[in-house]
Chains A and B, each alone.
Chain A
Amino acid sequence: MNGLSVKRPFSAVSDNDSSEHRPSKLVKRAPNATNTVERNWGSWFGSAVQSFKGLFSSPGPTQPPMRSISPLASHPRGALGWIHSGGHQVFEVPDDGEDSGTEALAIRQKRDRGTLEARQHLNDHAARHTGIHHNPGQIHPNLEQPLFSSKYSPNFLPPSEHVNVRSSSTNSSSSAAGPSSGPSTPPRASTRPDVAYKKPSRSYSWKRQDDGSASPTTHEAYTRGPKQLSRPSKSSANLRTGRNDSGQEKMLQRHYVEAVNAGDHGTAMSLARVREAYEQDRSKERRDAARPFAARVGLSPDLRKEGDLSLSLHNLKLDVDKRRLLDDKLQGPREPRAVPKPIRNKRRPVPTSLDVQKTHVYDRLRREDQEAERQVKERLQPRIPDDVTPQQAAIIRDRFSDRSFAATLGSAELSSSSLQRLKPDVWLNDEVINFYVELINTRAKDDGRPLHCLNTFFYEKLSVAGYAGAKLARWTKRMKLDIFALDKLLIPINHGNSHWVCAVINFKQRRIEYYDSLADSGRRYEVFKTLRGYLQSEHQEKKGSSFDLRKWEDQFDPDTPKQNNYTDCGVFACQTLESTARGRDLVKQKFEFDGDNMAFFRRLMVVEIASGALGARPWGT
């Protein structure tokens, strides 16, 4: 059995080798010479599995015992109808004494004979068509060189030998084929004998290198010189389509050379046919590629012939030239087109001295530094806290619980019940607002700021009774106040016992500002009108002349922060007044608080009212 496992090439099988097969009764005919023993064990395992399956599926028939030693031996199992599984077939070859090695040899000889016959037939066929007669096994002298070789192929021959080979082949082909083949070309290689050593030219014409004949027949392709044959492999059609057939052609050439060297002319012929098919494909591509170009230049799309195409192009060019001449005659000589000046980049002057502070790099760095500093300041800017300090919270608790609380500041008076309104979600009354107005005025007086905050009664009297009816001239007289010497006049306004807003008469900027923390109601027009009338009347009363309000403008920004509820309008008005009194320009600068801060400001206002002075605002500028 050991001999079976040895793989031997078929050609090496001889009589001596086949003697080793003898001792075994069974000759394996499996395509792969694998180990028989291993396969037998596999068969045994498969049969065991089969027996298990049978055991569970049909317990009726008695199963054979599983103690079989070798399925190769004849066993009663086979008689019981137990099907061998495992796929391998076992043949019993009768030992008739004939050598199987001689049989193989006979088969091989038969095959070779057939090949020889076929080869002979093909040879005759080729000779009939090509006129090349040669004996089998002997390569024709014309075919000693590879037909498809290019000057880059390793077995390239110098052109002098090519000339000889080609001229002889041309002669032979012309003599054999007769009138069917076209007129023979003069040997091109003789005119350009050194073309093979030049650098290959990259300009390829899509025109065929024709010699007046039609497409080359198989015979011509067969007998043509290597240079001409290798030329279409880099045709412009290839370049245009971008397809690379050189790999396929190289392989085709290699097979062709091999076939020729082996004397297999049938294969060589078929390969030559394939190559011819390539040629035809390429010429078809060339023809197709001319069509879109014709359509592109506006010629007839069904223009196919090259001559027509070139003629049409020529006519087109003539037409253009004619039109140009006509234009020149009609319009006179054309003006020479103005040549645009080349755009030159402005170059920064190169600093002659080392004045660092004047360089643009210095400017840029300084700007970046300032920006970074501004950002850091903004980040370090204290923000409005969520709640007051614990000490202030204690004060608030104390004041809220004190029912007898009463505060007086200037002409303002605040009772405990009014203080309770600073608790969340309660509407502020005029006592709180007016007390806060007094706080603002006190601070302005202490700081020496030229501003004054009027109380809530001012606008109420002004809007209802008017300037003269309310005797408002007496108000400023008693306060010894000249409003036209002020920077700002702050006015809290109560709209219809429901909504607190505030207005600022800004004498410096000459504008009347109106701040509403709720949705924009149209009452601001009335406020602007009333305040303008007050300014006019006051000026007339106090200065004895009319007040020029033409350059004054009414300022209202509907995008100021809004309150989150319907009770914070008083707090909003107080804080807007305070912020304006602190010097913040709320028209140009943005508000430092919004509706979310009102809970904190309610508590802060309690502290400020209790302490009788406005607290510091580190978050403000």
Chain B
Amino acid sequence: MSDAGSPSNAAETKPKADDNTLNIKIRATDGSEVFFKIKKTTKLNKLKNAYADRVGQDPGAIRLLFDGQRILDNATADDLDMEDGDVVDVLLEPQEAIVTRWQIVSSAVLLAS
């Protein structure tokens, strides 16, 4: 929706406001996006906690990825050479879904049918 405009807007506005801050878009796998403005020197676990607060998740279950690499808690935007308007992918920790015998049987039945 606002995808097309926001990076350009941010690129236009934010560097003027503060060179030290970045606009980061956190994009979930379901397509929902959340924007955050962070300092380059801020540890990115704060970003993770903020996102967890926003979506109501346990921060331990949230994995932030930047270009396929997991964002460590101690890393900063400078460490990762983040630029303004970069997209951070978020993935949830795969919850332990206990594979039961019933599931195996049902999958086999689905395969057979």
Binding site for B on A (CB under 8 A): 408, 411-413, 415, 417, 426-427, 429-431, 434, 454-458, 460-461, 464-465, 470-472, 474-479, 494, 496-499, 518-519, 521-522, 566, 569
Q: Given A413-B73, A461-B89, A461-B91, list of 10 further CB < 8 A pairs?
A: A413-B70, A426-B96, A456-B94, A457-B91, A465-B29, A472-B68, A498-B97, A519-B108, A521-B111, A566-B98
**Which B residues touch A496, using CB under 8 A?**
97
Q: Is the CB of A429 within 8 A of B94?
A: yes
- Chain B residues lying within 8 Å of A519, measured Cβ to Cβ, are 104, 108
Count of B interface residues, CB-CB < 8 Å? 27
- Which chain A residues border B100 with CB–CB below 8 Å? 566
Q: Which residues of A contact B94 (CB under 8 A)?
A: 429-430, 456, 494, 497
Q: Is the beta-carbon distance between B89 and A470 smaller than 8 angstroms?
A: yes
Contact digits for B58-87, partner A, Cβ 8 Å, 1 yes 0 no: 001001010111101110000000000001
Of B60, B63, B70, the most chain A CB neighbours within 10 A belong to B70
Which listed residue (A415, A434, A479, A518) contacts B70, Cβ 8 A?
A: A434
Q: How far does the Cβ of A445 sit from chain B's closest Cβ, in whole Å?
A: 16
Would you call B89 and A475 a contact (CB within 8 A)? no
Write out the residue numbers on chain B whose beta carbons fall within 8 Å of the beta carbon of A434: 70
Q: Which residues in B have their C-beta under 8 angstroms from that of A474? A: 67-68
Please judge, given known A-B contacts A461-B89, A475-B67, whether A427 and B98 are in contact too, CB under 8 Å. yes
**A497–B68 CB distance below 8 A:** no
Question: Which B-chain residue is minimally distant from A461 (CB atoms)?
Answer: B89
A460 to B49, CA, bound (A): 22
The answer to whether B68 and A475 touch across the interface, beta carbons within 8 angstroms, is: yes
In whole angstroms, how far apart are the Cα atoms of A376 and B42 in the complex?
Answer: 61
State A415–B70 Cα separation when bound (angstroms): 14
Which one of A465, A475, A497 contacts B95 once the chains associate, using CB atoms below 8 Å? A497
**In the complex, A280 Cα to B93 Cα: how many Å?**
110
Kindly provide the distance from the CB of B41 to the nearest chain A CB, expressed in whole angstroms.
19
- What is the bound-complex CA distance between A460 and B91, given in angstroms? 9
User: What 9 pairs across the A-B complex have the smallest Cβ distances?
Assistant: A475-B68, A478-B67, A498-B97, A411-B69, A497-B94, A427-B96, A566-B99, A474-B67, A522-B111
Instruction: Tell whether, in the assembled complex, residue B70 and residue A411 are in contact, meaning their CB atoms are under 8 Å apart.
Output: yes
Residues of A near B91 (CB, < 8 A) are 457, 460-461
**Assembly CA distance A157 to B85 (angstroms):** 140
Complex-state Cα separation, A314 to B69, whole angstroms: 106
A498 near B111 with CB under 8 A, answer no
Output the nearest chain A residue to B87 by Cβ-Cβ distance.
A471
A518 near B99 with CB under 8 A, answer: yes
Closest-by-CB residue of B relative to A428 is B96
Q: List 29 A-B contacts (CB under 8 A).
A: A408-B72, A411-B72, A413-B72, A427-B98, A429-B96, A431-B93, A434-B70, A454-B68, A457-B68, A457-B70, A457-B89, A457-B91, A461-B89, A461-B91, A472-B68, A475-B67, A477-B67, A478-B67, A478-B69, A494-B94, A496-B97, A497-B94, A497-B96, A498-B103, A499-B99, A519-B104, A519-B108, A566-B99, A566-B100
A142 CB to nearest chain B CB (Å): 105
Query: With an 8 A cutoff between CB atoms, is B20 at the interface?
Result: no
- Closest approach, in angstroms, between the C-beta of A524 and any C-beta of chain B? 11
Docked complex: B24-68 residues within 8 A CB-CB of A? 29, 60, 63, 65, 67-68
B107 close to A (CB within 8 Å)? yes
**B70 neighbours in A (Cβ, 8 Å):** 411-413, 434, 455, 457
Cross-chain contact A460 with B104 (CB below 8 angstroms): no
Chain A, Cβ-Cβ closest to B101 = A566
Taking the closest CB of chain B, its distance from the CB of A412, in whole angstroms, is 7
Instruction: Provide the bound-state CA to CA distance between A24 and B67, in Å.
Output: 141
Give the distance to chain B from A563, nearest Cβ to Cβ, in Å.
10
B99, closest chain A residue (CB):
A566
The docked-state distance in angstroms from the alpha carbon of A471 to that of B88 is: 11
Closest to B98 in A: A566
**Are the CB atoms of B72 and A417 closer together than 8 Å?**
no
If the complex has contacts A413-B70, A413-B73, are A430 and B104 also in contact, measured as CB distance less than 8 A? no
Give the docked Cα–Cα distance between A415 and B67 (Å): 22
**Complex interface: chain B residues within 8 A of A494 (CB):** 94
Known contacts: A457-B91, A471-B87, A521-B111. The answer to whether A498 contacts B99 by CB under 8 A is yes
Check A457 against B111 for contact (C-beta < 8 Å): no
In whole Å, how far is B36's beta carbon from the nearest beta carbon of chain A?
18
Question: Most A CB atoms within 10 A — which of B68, B69, B99?
Answer: B68
> In whole angstroms, how far apart are the Cα atoms of A522 and B113 in the complex?
12
- Once the chains are docked, how many angstroms separate the CA of A461 from the CA of B30? 11
Closest to B107 in A: A521
Instruction: Tell me how far the C-beta of B31 lies from the nearest C-beta in chain A, rounded to whole angstroms.
Output: 9
Q: How far is the CA of A427 from the CA of B98 in the complex (A)?
A: 8
Task: Write the B3-23 contact mask toward A (1 if CB under 8 angstroms, else 0).
Answer: 000000000000000000000
Chain B residues lying within 8 Å of A470, measured Cβ to Cβ, are: 89
Complex Cα distance, B80 from A479, in Å, reads 12
Task: State in angstroms the CA–CA spacing of A574 and B64 once bound together.
Answer: 22
Give complex CA distance A474, B66 in Å.
9
Q: Are the CB atoms of A429 and B93 closer together than 8 Å?
A: yes
Kindly state the separation between the CA atoms of A478 and B69 in the bound complex, as whole angstroms.
9
**Complex CA distance for A412 and B95, rounded to whole angstroms:** 18
Chain A contacts for B68, CB-based, 8 A: 454-455, 457-458, 461, 472, 474-476, 478-479
Chain B contacts of A431 at CB under 8 A?
A: 93
A47 to B61, CA, bound (A): 113
Give Cα A491 to B73, complex, Å.
Answer: 24
A471-B87, A479-B68, A498-B103 as given contacts; A457 in contact with B63, CB under 8 Å: yes
Across the two chains, which residue of chain B brings its CB closest to A476?
B68
CB-CB under 8 A from B99, the residues of chain A are 498-499, 518, 566, 569
Complex contacts, B111 vs chain A, CB 8 Å: 521-522
Q: Complex Cα distance A476/B69, Å?
A: 10
Query: In the complex, what distance in Å separates the CA atom of A497 from the CA atom of B96?
Result: 7
Q: Which residues of chain A are near B89, meaning CB under 8 Å?
A: 457, 461, 470
Which of B29, B72, B95, B98 counts the most chain A CB atoms within 10 A? B29
Q: How many angstroms from the CA of A454 to the CA of B69 in the assembled complex?
A: 10
**For A518, what are the chain B residues with a Cβ–Cβ distance below 8 Å?**
99, 104
